[in-house]
Chains A and B, each alone.
Chain A
C-alpha cells in the first residue's frame, strides 16, 4: 500500500501564515468592514491549514476512480473545508448586514465603545463616585448614544471632548 508523503508543502504553510497574520491585523481595526475582511482572510488561512492537515494532494477520492497505484487525497479534510467555506459565507452575510445597519444609523460602521468604557470616561470627567447611576446625570444623552458618537477614525468630531484620557480637573465635586 502506497502511503502519501505527509510532509506539508512550505508554500501552503507560508500562505497560512500570511493570511492569518494580515487577518489578525485587520481584525484589530475599528470599522466592521475591515474586521470582516480580516475574518475572511483568517477563515481562508484556517481552511488552508485544514488542507495541509489532510496531507498532500493525490487522486480524486472516489473509490474506483483512481489508477491502481496512485494514492487518493484525504476526502475528510476537503469535506470539512467545504463546510467551513459555507459557514464563512453565511457569517460574512450576517456581518455585512450588521455593518450596513450601523452605517444607516450612524453614517459609519465603526464598532462603538463598550458602555462601561463610556461610563468610566463620563465618571472620570465628573470625578463622581461610582455608585451613582451615570445614565441619570444631566448630559441628557444615554451612554449608548454617547458610545455611538465617540469613534476613532474621526477623533476631531468628538462632540464634547470626552475621550477617556482627558478628564477635566475643575469639574464640580472634584475634591480628592
Chain B
C-alpha cells in the first residue's frame, strides 16, 4: 500500500463507504434530510464502485491486503467476477429499496395525522442500520478469509435484527427473537467450523485452504465441509433448515422484508458456492446430500407457498423454494451448473425484491396482505397490477424472462449430467415452476381480479416515491433478459474461474507460492529473529 490510487483502491470501497456513511448518519440523527442525502449518495457510490469492479475483475481477481499485511497473515479482500457481480446486483437492489423506503417515509409523514402509521419507520435508526447492513453484505461478498466472512455475517446479523424489530411491536419482537436465535445458532456453528478448520489446516485464508484442504484426511475434511455447509444452510434457508424464514420475514416493514428476501439468503448461497468450488475439492457424497436438500427445499417450499393466504407469507415460501434451484446448480458440481446457479442468483435477487416491494404497495393501496381482504386492484390500480404481474411471471419462469433462462440453464445441465438424482431434480424443478405459477396466479386472481371487498378503498393512490423505485427494480429484472447473453457469459467465466480455483489462489499468492506453509507452526517456532516483512511477502530465494 503505497498510497497511490490504483484500481485496487476500488475493492474496499463497497465496505468502507457504507460504514463511514453509517457513522455519519448516526452522528447526524437529528437531521433526517441530511441523513437521506448521505445514505443515497453512499449507496450510489458503492454501486458505481461495484459496477467498475465488474469490468475490472473480468481480467482477473483483484486482491487488497487490508492493513498492509500480505495474505495468510493479514486479512485480504478479493474481488473476483463472482464477488463483483453479486456486489453490483445487491448494490442496485439496496439503492432501489432505500429510495422506496424514503418514498414510504415521506408519504407516511404526510399520513401520520390521518392515523395511518402502521409501518412507519423511525428514520433516525433506520439509515445507520441499513448502511451497516450494506457494509456487512459487501464484506461477506469480498472476504477472502473465512474469519472475515464470519465477521461480515455478524455485522449483517446485528443490523438485520435491528431492522427486523424496528418499532418493537409485539409481532416484530416475536418474529425477531426467533430470527435472532436461529442466526446465533448458525453463527456458533460457523465459528466452531472455523476453529476446527484452523486446527486441521493452520489457516483460515480461503486461497490457502484451497491448497491445503486436499491433503487433509478425507473423513476429517468431510466433517469440516458438512459443518460449514450446515452453518451456511441455515443462512441460506435450505430445507430442513428453513423453517425460521417464512415466520420471521413477513412481519417486518415492506422495504426491510424486501432487502432480507433479496439479499440475506443469497449470501448463504454465495458462501455455499465458495465452499463447494474454491475451498473444498469436489466430494461426490456432499454433492449428493446437497442435491437431495435442493429437491426437498424446492418441493417443501412451494407446497408451503400454495397453502398460504397472505401474500407476504406466500412470497416468503417461494423464496425458500427457489433457493433450491440455486443449490441444485451448485450441487451439480459442473461449470455449466455453477454458471446457471450464479445467473439464477442474480435473477432471483432482482425479482424477489421487486415482488416484495410491490406487495408493500399492494398493502398500502388495499390495506391488507391477506388475499381474502384484497380484490379488484387490477381495475383500481392498473399500474400496480402490471408491476406485480411482470415479476410474478418472471419468478414462475415464463419465457422469455430471466427466470426462464436461468431455469433452462439448470435443466439443460441436469439432463446432461443425467444421473438418477439429477433427473429427479429436473422433474422437481419443473413441478416447482408450475406450482410457483399456480401460487402467484392465485395471488393475482384474488388480489387483482376478484370483486373488491368493501374494505378496499375505491379512491386512493400509491405514492409515486414508492412506485418509481419498485418500477425501476421491475424494469431491472426485465433488463436482465435483454442483457442475458453477456451476463450469462460473465456467469460462465465466473463459474469456470471458481471451479478451477487456480486464478483465485494465484491472485492471493502471486507466483503460485504458498508462502505460509506451516504458518501456525512457524510462528511458534521462529521466535525472536523473524522479520515481519519476511512474512508479509518479502522475497525468498
19 pairs, CB–CB < 8 Å, chain A vs chain B: A35-B181, A39-B184, A46-B195, A49-B192, A49-B195, A52-B195, A52-B199, A53-B195, A53-B198, A54-B198, A65-B528, A75-B523, A80-B194, A90-B154, A111-B178, A116-B247, A130-B307, A132-B309, A144-B174
Does A95 contact B525, Cβ atoms closer than 8 Å? no
Does B188 contact A43, Cβ atoms closer than 8 Å? yes
Secondary structure at the B interface, as helix, strand, loop or mixed, is helix
Residues 494-541 of B at the A interface (beta carbon under 8 Å): 519-528, 530-532
Contact with A along B171-204 (1 / 0, CB 8 A): 1011011101100110110011011101100001
Chain A residues closer than 8 Å to B370, beta-carbon distance: 133, 135-136
Does B528 contact A66, Cβ atoms closer than 8 Å? yes
Assuming A68-B528, A83-B147, A144-B170, is B523 touching A61 (CB within 8 A)?
Answer: yes
Does A63 contact B373, Cβ atoms closer than 8 Å? no
CA distance A43 to B190 in the complex (A): 11
A84 to chain B, nearest CB (A): 6
The residue on B at minimum CB distance from A43 is B188
Chain A residues closer than 8 Å to B393, beta-carbon distance: none
Does B171 contact A144, Cβ atoms closer than 8 Å? yes
Query: Is B292's beta carbon under 8 Å from chain A?
Result: no
Does B309 contact A64, Cβ atoms closer than 8 Å? no
B311 to chain A, nearest CB (A): 12
Does A46 contact B198, Cβ atoms closer than 8 Å? no
Does A46 contact B188, Cβ atoms closer than 8 Å? yes
Does B526 contact A1, Cβ atoms closer than 8 Å? yes
Secondary structure at the A interface, as helix, strand, loop or mixed, is helix
Query: Is A22's beta carbon under 8 Å from chain B?
Result: no
Does A70 contact B527, Cβ atoms closer than 8 Å? yes
CA distance A148 to B268 in the complex (A): 30
Does A74 contact B309, Cβ atoms closer than 8 Å? no
The 3 closest A-B pairs by CB, nearest first: A53-B199, A4-B524, A1-B525
Query: Is A98's beta carbon under 8 Å from chain B?
Result: yes
Does A136 contact B170, Cβ atoms closer than 8 Å? no
Contact with B along A42-78 (1 / 0, CB 8 A): 1100100110111100110101111111111111110
The residue on B at minimum CB distance from A23 is B188
Query: Is B123's beta carbon under 8 Å from chain A?
Result: no
Does B524 contact A42, Cβ atoms closer than 8 Å? no
Does A91 contact B527, Cβ atoms closer than 8 Å? no
B23 to chain A, nearest CB (A): 16
The residue on A at minimum CB distance from B522 is A1
The residue on B at minimum CB distance from A75 is B523
Chain B residues closer than 8 Å to A76, beta-carbon distance: 73, 198, 204, 519-520, 523
Assuming A4-B521, A105-B170, is B527 touching A83 (CB within 8 A)?
Answer: no
In the complex, which of the residues B176, B251, B520, B530 contacts A54, with contact meaning CB atoms closer than 8 Å?
Answer: B520
B371 to chain A, nearest CB (A): 7
Query: Is A121's beta carbon under 8 Å from chain B?
Result: no
8 other A-B residue contacts (CB within 8 Å) besides A6-B521, A27-B181, A72-B524: A46-B188, A49-B199, A66-B527, A101-B168, A101-B173, A102-B177, A133-B372, A144-B170
Query: Is A147's beta carbon under 8 Å from chain B?
Result: yes
Does B176 contact A74, Cβ atoms closer than 8 Å? no
CA distance A87 to B196 in the complex (A): 19
Query: Is A125's beta carbon under 8 Å from chain B?
Result: no
Does B188 contact A133, Cβ atoms closer than 8 Å? no
Query: Is A139's beta carbon under 8 Å from chain B?
Result: no
Query: Is A158's beta carbon under 8 Å from chain B?
Result: no
Assuming A46-B192, A63-B530, A94-B161, is B177 touching A111 (CB within 8 A)?
Answer: yes
CA distance A83 to B161 in the complex (A): 20
Does B372 contact A71, Cβ atoms closer than 8 Å? no
Query: Is B477's beta carbon under 8 Å from chain A?
Result: no
Query: Is B151's beta carbon under 8 Å from chain A?
Result: yes
Query: Is A9's beta carbon under 8 Å from chain B?
Result: no
Query: Is B158's beta carbon under 8 Å from chain A?
Result: yes
Chain A residues closer than 8 Å to B191, beta-carbon distance: 43, 46, 50, 84
Query: Is B46's beta carbon under 8 Å from chain A?
Result: no
Query: Is B246's beta carbon under 8 Å from chain A?
Result: yes
Chain A residues closer than 8 Å to B246, beta-carbon distance: 116
Does B194 contact A64, Cβ atoms closer than 8 Å? no
